[in-house]
Structure formats: C-alpha cells, structure tokens
Structure 1
C-alpha cells in the first residue's frame, strides 16, 4: 500500500497546476492487464490517490498565488500533500507569482544560482519574452536543481523544472485574478522517483483545472503515465470535481471519468462516482461518501457488481 501511494503521490502532488479541459495527450494504449477480481482494488486505490493528490495540488497553488509561505492540504489527503516535488514546485511558483524574480529584470534573459534553504543549489534562467520587466504571458523560468533541499527533513531534488506563463491577470492590488502556467519536468528526481512530462494549471474565479500531458513517473520499477484532467468548480458550494482522460499503470491503460461529479466537503469528498474502465468492457466504480469510498467491480457482460471493497478516507 505505501509503495502504491508513494508512487501516486509523487506523480500527482508536486506538480502544482491545471489546464484546459479534456484529457489531453495521446490516445491510451490497449489495456495490457484487464481489470479483474485480483487487481481491481489495487488499481482503484492508485487512481483514487492520484485524484486526491491533484486536489492537494490545487490548495498549494492557491496558497502560493496568495503569497502564503506554505499551505497544507486537507487532513484527508495528508498522506499525499507534503514533501518532495510539492515543496520545490511551490518554491518555484512563489518566485513567479510573488515578484521574487524582480532582480532578474535588467535584461530579457538572466541567469543565476541560489542556495536552497536546506542545502544544494538551484540554478535559474528567467526569460522575459517581451522584455517588459514584469511577469507576463510568454515569460518562462527554468530551474535546475542540484541536491536541492527546500524543506527540512526532505530528500534532495535533482533535475529540471521549466515554468511557462501562458496567461497571468493581476489586479491593481497585486492579487491574482486568473492564471495559466505550464510546468515541464525533465528527469526531475528525488528519493528514488523520476518525473518527466508536463502539466498545466489554470485558475479563474469559477474553476481550477489541472491537465496532465504524457506526464510520467517511475519509482522502484513501477511506472505511471497521466493523460487526464481534473476540473474543480469553485463558484458553487460545495465545490465539485470532474475527471476525464486516461492513466497508464505499469503498461495497462484505463479510461477515467466521473459519471456522477465528485462533491467536495470540508475534509473529504461527500459524494460522487469515479469510474475506471479498461478496453475489455470491465470497470470499477469508486462510489464516495462522507466516511469513505467503495470500489465496485463490474466485469464485462452485465451490470452486476462482481466484487466490492470498502475503504476509509484515512487509508489514502
């Protein structure tokens, strides 16, 4: 269980971002291992943890854009929401959104290097695409981490993270109104995992959207690839969450959808159905409630539940 959650956490939670509807990316490969009684619950747990990690990403994005030094996720996602990639992505996003790159504004392209808070270095290259000396669409910040530790007790991070501003709207008081950022990872590694690919986060007064594009993570021989989007509706109460796209788990591809949108409570989801389907006609419906969720397996050929496993939210 810990290994599965660690993999799902590292791939989903320190990305920070969100994007523009649809699953994005290439069409998924044919399922290598169909859903069955022996694997459906493990698969459901990985997917549920991945989606839960995406929710914690939203909270860190909002915390960073508001200038907060750190914003922990809700307690139900505590296993997914702190450490590793999450910290350095938040550290990098703070640079873009809080104006900390102002010292790099003397030319269109500037480079430099900073000491990380707890050891190692973070080299950076800021490209002011329109040379207007303020963060705006088209600007980018490339970070190269070398044994960089940004939070006490966390393992060092290595590799490249490039943040590109797609759009950025700041009001007269300096508060974020809307934004779209793409984070691209190249051999971004820490504590045994490696990340590659990109994810885009978009924020507006009505929605927060997280879109993964060929975003891959590997950990101790296991591999995940995300090509799905998560859209959180924030202008309604309670907030709702919709998922669409695909996930590949160790070579097996599954389609994700929410036939009943997820309704978010203060601590955990209150209701909703997250569907995981293979290409053989089998599916798992993850049915959510205040206390937890139930993984229901439907094998191809009928609409009868063939097996069912309940879980508490605390298991994530």
Structure 2
C-alpha cells in the first residue's frame, strides 16, 4: 500500500476546496476570501500541507471538517492573514489622540486618572507602541496615571513579535526622532535591531483575540484603534463589529479606522470627529 510520501502531490486549489476554505474562514473568523485571493491562499497554505504530510487541499479540507479542526485554526489564520503596519502610520490619528483624548484628561482629579485604549488587529505591535509613546509623552507625571493599552490580534506569530518589542532599524526609522531617542534602545549584540524601552512596553498587554467570537473584556475604553481590519469583513459583519465597539467605548470615546474604512451610513451611534475618526454619541 502506498504511503502519503509515496503518492504524488497535487497542490492545485480547486473550486470546491477554495469554497470550503472561504466558508470555513468566514464562519470561524468573519474573514471574507474573494475568488481573486485564491492564488494567495494556495501559495500560503502549501507549507501547512507539507508540514502535515497531506497530499492535496482535499485532504486539508477534510481535516478541517473533522475533530482536528480546532488544533489547525490558529495555523490556518496565521498563514492567511496579512500584516502590513508601520510605526505612526496615518500620523494624524496620533495627533488627534494627543489633542482630543489625552490632553483634555490632564485636568482631571487624581482619582479619575484611568485610561484604557484598545488596539484591535495590532499586528506586530507598531500601532500599540505608537499609542504608548504618545501617552508617555503627553500624560505627565506618568506615575499618576493608571494607563493601559490592550493589543489584540488573531495571529499568534505577530503577537509574539509585538510582546518582544524588537524591530529592525529600518522599522524604527518611522518613529519621530525625539521619540526614537527616548523610547528606543539599540541591542548591544545586534546593531541592526532595536528594542522598545520598558517605559512603553509596560503600558501594553498583548492578547490573542478573534473578533468574530465573544470578547472576554468588559471595557470601557476611551479609544479603540481598529484600522484596516474591517475591510476583510462583509457589510453585515462590519455593522455588527462597529456596534460592539460602540458598546465598549465610553460616551464620547473615539474609534479610529483605516483610510479605506468609514462609518458613514453604517452606524448612527457615532459622529465624525476627524478624518476616519468617530466619536460615540449614543
């Protein structure tokens, strides 16, 4: 009898298997895979098929349709998701955060100095570290504040990188020079890589979270960053997601979206505060 190793491999992703994978991901994560992404999906999953000793995508789909599915979902999502991010990407958001969220809090009585911000879809951590640097530079004295950033993503690989806080010198070039001098440390044993300072690392908690599932945290948050995430969902899923975000925000709290995303016509519980920034009003 031939073993898996003896049989010829066929890594062609046909219609039936692609539709199964698209339905599976939509059901489990809310991510929508349009047909033009078939080649990307095929290319990224070939390594998983080889690692599992599977002959073809039919075998892989059969596994996802069985009791081993729970163990494979994390690997599947890690392979499929795209993580493109930079420090201080869309810099107007961080100016808005400073002037419209952080600075107004400076006059509050000490007993109210609690700040909670959520970076949803944080990728490898550049966004939450950009938020943390903005907080550390604005809220003074820092020790007078109970400030915390929740950084979540569905991809465990990028979360690990974010928690380590180590980036290439090219990555950190996007950080403003004054922040770079204060919050970035060169590694002694690796001059090509930098590490984020403890001052900002201690403000962030990295956690895995599937936005399509129940959320364990209760909030409320003063601001939520969810940039370039909703574009992977269909309109009904987007509407439900934005409504859940609204429930998690304080009244007047801010929701920051990506440059290609909008709440206009999607949710009447927000008003426009700035370019792709929305304030909860009800």
Name which one, 1 or 2, has greater alpha-carbon Rg: 2
Shared fold by TM > 0.5?
no
* Bigger fraction of residues in strand: 1
TM-score range, shorter chain: under 0.3
Structure in which a larger fraction of residues adopt helix: 2
TM-score between both structures, scaled by the size of structure 2: 0.25
Q: TM-score, normalized by length of structure 1?
A: 0.23
